[in-house]
Structure 1
């Protein structure tokens, strides 16, 4: 099944990216890690070979940091609003034409094989979720759209996955959940960072 992967990414710039990691890594180290994670996510998404890969960015698709990424992808702006409003707009735009996998760049374990597994699941269900260990999720796959799925939700809290499950159930959709993975957001999460991303961050 042809599936669009949309990666929501923040520009990997000092003071803007991975700000919760600055106490552990400093502004430059946090930005370097953000860029490595972005490149890794983009590489895995392209290698999954599911269909178009879209890099949906903030704050501005015209920034030079997006120009040297070595992959075949479509570059778009995230637009305004909170995370839910931005994801809702993407899902509304994509799902009439093809299923979509919405991901960020915070989970190095979201590999090409896991992306393929999620896309395959969408052939049998309406939505697929890869929960995060912090109570959020690292992937939400959809082949249908309803704005109630995204708004309002208290983003960046431990309620996100549970509330999303409840919304999907209320819509009468079929959901498949895959294995829970770790996001790399806070200093304590660095224990889960693969060694190939951990080299000379400070």
Structure 2
């Protein structure tokens, strides 16, 4: 069965990406960090065990951007909050297990992704928790219908984002893998 890994990326333009980090270190350094972090991440997770795709934002500019590797398929993130965008990606992926990760997680390695897909053999959903109460990875087995309540009622960018998301899954069997740190602030950048 085909496994799909989707990395969510934004065009690395100053003032449009990593703005919380940019308010602390400057918008140009924040965009530069994101661009180079994403390039490193894509090299790390590009693996023949799964199909790697980019979910791009903004939609039109991201689809034609020369910033991202040309060999990687791109799909638009579309409109709405993070839950709306991830829900569309999870529902619209090719048949088989799918995992979504953010590009601002310096600690992601191939073995984390492999562990997530392995966990989907025994669970319906898998999460990679983040230190701030959110998560850096969400994955679904997708052997049945994706719950209509998926990602509804989640307080994004809060300490309850992971718990809210798990509640939105109803009675699905949920597994967790390693806790990693995302980079939203200068303190996160220093702690990585």
Q: TM-score under structure 2 normalisation?
A: 0.90
Deviations 1:83-128 (A, max 9, x none): 1111111111126x11110111111111111111111111111111
Structure-to-structure mapping, 1:30-69, within 5 angstroms: 30-47=30-47, 49-63=48-62, 66-69=65-68
Deviations 1:3-49 (A, max 9, x none): 101111111111111111123321110010010121122222213x3
CA distance in 1, matches of 2:186, 2:116: 28
CA distance in 2, matches of 1:71, 1:50: 20
**Deviation of residue 64 (structure 1)?**
8.7
Q: Larger % of helix: which?
A: 1
Unpaired segments ≥5 residues, structure 2 = none
Aligned to 1:14: 14
**Deviation of residue 156 (structure 1)?**
1.1
CA distance in 2, matches of 1:147, 1:64: 28
Deviations 1:144-187 (A, max 9, x none): 3113121121211111111122233xx22111111211111112
Q: Which runs of 4+ in 1 moved over 4 A?
A: none
Unpaired segments ≥5 residues, structure 1 = 194-202
Secondary structure at the counterpart of residue 162 of structure 1? helix
CA contact (8 A) 2:63 2:75 kept: no
Aligned to 1:108: 106
Aligned to 2:122: 124
